Amino acid sequence: MRHKPLREQVIVITGASSGIGLATARMAAERGARVVLAARSGDVLARLAEEIGTGRAVAVTADVGRREDVQAVADAALAAFGGFDTWVNVAGLTVYGPLREIAQEDHERLIRTNLWGTVNGSLVAAEHLRARGGALINVGSIASDLAFPFQGLYATSKHAVKGFTDTLRMELIAEDAPVSVTLVKPASIDTPLPDRARNYMDCQPTLPPPIYPPEEVANAILHAAVHPQRDIIVGGGGKLFVMGKEFAPGAYDHLARAIIALQKRPEPPTAPEGALHAPRAAGRERGDPPVYVMRTSAYTRATLHPLATAGVVAAGLAATAALLLRGGPFGRSRP
């Protein structure tokens, strides 16, 4: 299946006010697409729509955990542009802390955003795309394949997103619907996610290395909007973690203490409530991780093109493995 060039598409992006969603919106607009921007932070979206330009962007304040809000996003796309060609579910948050300490309302809010937001967006989008054709792209995580202690409900939600996405894809194939379904699974990405997290720890949270720029995820998303792929892992480090866990799941389980340690910064927590229940600290693509951020992912760039050689992929994985041995769970983090 092949879709329209980006310059001819209308793309809906949830979670467009921060991180990956914000980077994707800007990149899509730069490549000529018209965009429908959805998030809870309406003021940020309004500024972003103005930045992109009149007639090129529409902003819709929406909580993706509410089906009626998601339907309003689709209706706005129909009113402004006559419909949409690609729908991207990006909106997501996390909670840091031991499962036993996290309040039930925080568990439920995270699942409502991360899982139900994806379910709502996917089902609303599929109804439109069945007749028009196009792409549905869900942003999961390598946590769709791995567990992360102290981000347990985040991993739970991303496992569920994978199961839902795979099922919906199969049902659309059974219908012969002209809709591609892609699951994008980023590794650690330099976004404000830790700063916007609900935090139960006694220190500021962070992401385990290696960390990749949000533009790598945006590029993968927009590639899938034209050249669909079933799954895309963003970050060779993520691919190595997934491979290692599949090869030796018991050994991966025993990395628990190291993985917990790599999610902690020495600074005290700054805003432990985060943006879980109300929008906060939106408007930034990047965070401030205390470790080196990779410039690109050679592994991911190679996997986006069918003629990529095994040698290119292997070289990217080898370089990432060397970094992991120096700064991941098997070595000391870089300053």
Output the CA–CA distances (angstroms, integers) from residue 13 to 10, 46, 78, 138, in the order listed. 10, 14, 14, 10
Residue 8 CB: number of other CB atoms within 10 A? 12
Residue with tokens 């730069």: 30
In three state form, how does the secondary structure of the chain look? CCCCCHHHCEEEEECCCCHHHHHHHHHHHHCCCEEEEEECCHHHHHHHHHHHCCCCEEEEECCCCCHHHHHHHHHHHHHHHCCCCEEEECCCCCEECCHHHCCHHHHHHHHHHHHHHHHHHHHHHHHHHHHHCEEEEEECCHHHCCCCCCCHHHHHHHHHHHHHHHHHHHHHHHCCCCEEEEEEEECEECCCCCCCCEECCCCCECCCCCEECHHHHHHHHHHHHHCCCCEEEECHHHHHHHHHHHHCHHHHHCCHHHHHHCCECCCCCCCCCCCCCCCCCCCCCCCCCCCCECCCCHHHHHHCCCCCCHHHHHHHHHHHHHHHHHHCCCCCCCC
**47's tokens:** 């500024």
Active site residue 252: no
Catalytic residue among 96, 154, 212, 252: 154
- Kindly list the catalytic residues: 154
